[in-house]
Structures are given as C-alpha cells and as structure tokens.
Amino acid sequence: MNYPPLPWLQFVILSAIQDNPLVWVTGKVIRATMAEDGVKRAGPAFYQIMGRIEEAKLVEGENYDRLEERQKGKQRICERRYKLTDRGIMALDRTRRAYGRTKCRRA
C-alpha cells in the first residue's frame, strides 16, 4: 500500500521525538524542541494532535508521574511521554524520501 507523506506538523513532532537522545520523551520536551524550530503549540492543541498521532499508532504514549517542586511545596504532576513506534519510524522514512531527505535512524 502506498501511503502519502506525513502532514507537516506530524512530521515536525515525530522528528522532535526521534532527534531526542531519550527513548521516552515528555510532551514538555517535544514542545520545547518545536519552539526552538519556530513552531509553537499551546498545551491543549499539542495534546490533541498527539492523541491523533497516538491513535494512528505512530507513537506510543504513557502517563509519566513525577514529583515537581513548585514555589509552594511539592506538587505531583502527571504528564504524558511518548516514543516512536516502528510504524512512526517508517512514516518518517517515507516522508523524508518523498521530499528527498536522508533516511531516519532507528531509535
């Protein structure tokens, strides 16, 4: 089956995950990486598209529970983190080939 290249925003997000040295990457880190590239998305819009990417099985997501110190004591933060699936890596490869870029590396 011949799939079309990824939409631009999905390509940016999946590239941000793959370019990170960690296997599991938090949404906060992905958004920061995107912002460095000039792409800004507010939390709700970002997590909405991440939900779509997860439904498409391009990434695997899980809740990541961590303890974070805020100005007033400690607060428990539950955040999503993501890793690329084989399907996501293949989609990045296919998109990069379509636009003449180099092949994706395995995470």
Which residues lie below 8 Å from residue 35, measured CB to CB, with a gap of 6+? none
pLDDT of residue 40: 84
63-72 in b/e burial notation, b at 16+ Cβ within 10 A? Answer: ebeeeeeeee
pLDDT of residue 57: 96
3-state DSSP assignment of residue 83: strand
Give strand pairing partners of 84: 59
| pLDDT tens digits, 55-64 | 999 999 998 8
Give how far Cα 14 sits from Cα of 6, 10, 42, 49, 97, Å: 10, 6, 17, 11, 15
pLDDT of residue 68: 57
| pLDDT tens digits, 24-81 | 999 989 999 999 888 888 788 898 999 999 999 999 999 887 655 555 666 666 788 9
